[in-house]
Amino acid sequence: LIALLLLTSPSLAWDFTPTPVCTILNDTPELSIRVTFDPSQPQPYAITLTRPEPWPETETFGLRFDGPSALTIGTDRHRLSTDARSLTVTDTGFGNVLDGLAFNSTATALAGDTALPFDLTGARPAVEAFRACGVVPSA
């Protein structure tokens, strides 16, 4: 009976893992999104978006979040992987990214003429776990 229930229940699209670094992962055939926090790095927060097709070379990259806490954020500090299929942004803080993921229903990655929407259903629990990752309670 348990196996049958597991087969019929929807799987969560957004997953969180605390090791080896704090990671939120959402994989779909169209886009893989990985958000990491690695305190050993000078810019400990990173988001990497990987897709089957190469990302265009652009001066800016943005994320538009649509829903109750809609916002659009952008940067010129993104970089592409060698094959241009992965786009990564790093920073010292990711409050706007995490808020956008947690409190909205959809997001769209914006690079040049490319606009790639993705669903945020189920992201909030993963974001909450990510925010708490590595936090040591005071004695």
Tens digit of each residue's pLDDT (9 = 90 or more) over 86-125:
999 999 999 999 999 999 999 999 999 999 999 999 999 9
- Give the pTM: 0.87
Q: What gap in Å lies between CA 87 and CA 49, rounded to an integer?
A: 5
Q: Mapped to the 3 state alphabet, what secondary structure does 12-58 carry?
A: CCEEEECCCCEEEEEECCCCEEEEEECCCCCCCEEEEEECCCCCCCC
Q: What is the pLDDT of residues 26-57, one digit of tens each?
A: 999 999 999 999 999 999 999 999 999 999 99
Going by pLDDT thresholds of 50, 70 and 90, the confidence category of residue 13 is: confident
Q: What is the pLDDT of residues 48-96, one digit of tens each?
A: 999 999 999 999 999 999 999 999 999 999 999 999 999 999 999 999 9
Structure confidence at residue 91 (pLDDT):
96
Going by pLDDT thresholds of 50, 70 and 90, the confidence category of residue 9 is: very low
Structure confidence at residue 102 (pLDDT):
97
Let me know: does 24 contact 35? Beta carbons within 8 Å.
Answer: yes
Q: Which residues contact 27 (CB under 8 A, 6 or more apart)?
A: 33
Higher pLDDT, 135 or 48: 48
